[in-house]
């Protein structure tokens, strides 16, 4: 009888406890920070889209023609990605150092593509990535438990004859550290 009452009280306490919100993946956090810094209105629209994901999904399934295509491209992972590289750790042997961007509106996508190898590496290792964005400094990734490369900086700058370049600010040393840690991580997965 006493055991039954204790189980009932414990079950009620557990049911009433607040659920923790799942942590946002670092790539999405960086995307949001860049968008918020460059265009606060678009960031607010993006937040509204993600908060109403079920409504958006319903709009896609019930829509037709161009309206359906426009709604579908707003769903995460459905838009065409011109910077579709290093989508997983196995396909990305070397972290790119820079990307040329003709359209300045695409610079955020280039920075995300440059950061993606680091996100995937840390995710595979089970380690965290802290993302910081500062208008004067650029993007800085802080990598948990990565002595050879505790931070990875990214910047965007105009280039001649036109366009912009998104670039990692750590040179070839960062690429070597990423490749070495990738090899060690893949070897540990194979064991």
Which tens digit of pLDDT belongs to each residue from 161-185? 677 888 888 878 888 999 999 999 9
d(CA 87, CA 108): 16
For 56, 57, 71, the CA distances from 65, given in Å and listed in that order, are: 16, 15, 10
Quote the pLDDT of residue 9. 42
Q: Is the pLDDT of residue 76 over 50?
A: no
Average pLDDT, the chain: 76
Packing angle, helices 107-125 and 26-38, rounded to 10: 160
| pLDDT-based confidence at residue 131 (cuts at 50, 70, 90) | very high
Q: Is the peptide bond before 161 cis (omega within 30 degrees of 0)?
A: yes
Q: What's the pLDDT at 7?
A: 39
């Amino acid at each position: 009888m006493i055991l039954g009452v204790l189980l009932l009280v414990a079950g009620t306490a557990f049911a009433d406890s607040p659920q923790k919100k799942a942590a946002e993946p670092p790539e999405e956090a960086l995307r949001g920070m860049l968008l918020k810094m460059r265009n606060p209105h678009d960031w607010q629209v993006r937040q509204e889209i993600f908060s109403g994901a079920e409504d958006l999904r319903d709009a896609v399934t019930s829509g037709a023609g161009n309206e359906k295509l426009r709604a579908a491209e707003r769903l995460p992972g459905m838009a065409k990605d011109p910077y579709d590289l290093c989508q997983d750790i196995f396909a990305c042997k070397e972290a790119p150092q820079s990307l040329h961007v003709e359209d300045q509106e695409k610079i955020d996508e280039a920075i995300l593509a440059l950061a993606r190898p680091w996100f995937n590496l840390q995710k595979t290792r089970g380690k965290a990535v802290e993302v910081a964005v500062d208008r004067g400094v650029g993007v800085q990734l802080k990598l948990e438990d990565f002595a050879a490369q505790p931070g990875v900086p990214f910047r965007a700058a105009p280039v001649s004859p036109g366009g912009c370049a998104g670039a990692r600010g750590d040179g070839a040393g960062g690429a070597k550290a990423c490749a070495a840690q990738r090899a060690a991580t893949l070897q540990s997965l194979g064991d």
